[in-house]
Amino acid sequence: METLSENTCFGGVQGVYRHASDACRCDMTFGLFLPEEAKDGPVPVLWYLSGLTCTHENAMTKAGAQAWAAEQGIALVFPDTSPRGDGVADDESYDLGKGAGFYVNATQTPWAPHFQMWDYVAEELPRIITANFDIDEDRQAITGHSMGGHGALTLAMSLPGRFRSVSAFAPIANPTQSDWGRKQLGAYLAEGADWAAHDSSLLMQESGFDGPVLVDQGSKDQFLELLRPEALAQAMVARRQPGTFRMQKDYDHSYFFVASFMEDHVNFHAEALYAD
């Protein structure tokens, strides 16, 4: 693993690291914020999954999460959103290919050789993080924005016991019924594959989450028709899922929205991470 940068941040360290990924068969880059408490032993961790077109850097520099994580003594992990490199397949559109891994394991040509983002985020990167940094692997939570909100919710519901809490900012909530989903799932997994396993509204109907859930959605989000938040809200109500779904008046899809409610989300996760 190569250290690309380390900067003192709110008493802790914001680092950026690169490593050779077995899952994605290319070099991958991630950001990691360690609070000051990590000097004395393992700390809880909150994973942040970013959205379409983003890298590890967007949330790391725009979400304002480090200030609140430092107050709570929580580490933050910022993975990239896709494999990168000259040999990695891409598409001319912004919502497929590089920057748009959708947190699935691709099975179709030309994506399958590198686009194994589910395995990368669910298995490989956690092993690297816990092996190299003072992270308490028994105290994990996950959040994300847009495509990353989709990833956070589907990972949390598909990996029982892994995460103590899950939250999302404007998640792609019902991708099997949206152009943000059908396009990517059709390309990566093909028609007829198990798309339901990557649809948080369907997973909520089927199994729910064994912990608290928080979802924030802006009422003036320019992508509301693609996100389909009503499907997730209805599924939460039908299942009587412990959690909160908030429609935030006048907010859009930008990082101004994310930063406005990041304190709420970090504190929400801190309550679960320190519950015992």
| Residues annotated catalytic, as ranges | 146, 221, 253
Nearest to 14 by CA among 54, 64, 82: 64
Beta bridge partners of 18: 2, 29
Nearest to 17 by CA among 33, 1, 34, 36: 1
The 3 state secondary structure assigned to the chain is CEEEEEEEECCEEEEEEEEEECCCCEEEEEEEEECHHHHCCCEEEEEEECCCCCCCHHHHHHCCHHHHHHHHCCEEEEECCCCCCCCCCCCCCCCCECCECCCCECCCCCCCCCCEHHHHHHHHHHHHHHHHCCEEEEEEEEEEECHHHHHHHHHHHHCCCCCCCEEEECCCCCHHHCHHHHHHHHHHCCCCCCHHHHCHHHHHHHCCCCCCEEEEEECCCCCHHHHCHHHHHHHHHHHCCCEEEEEECCCCCCHHHHHHHHHHHHHHHHHHHCCC
Tokens coding 107: 């099975």
* Interior/surface letters 223-233, b for 16+ CB within 10 angstroms, e for the rest: bbebbbbebbb
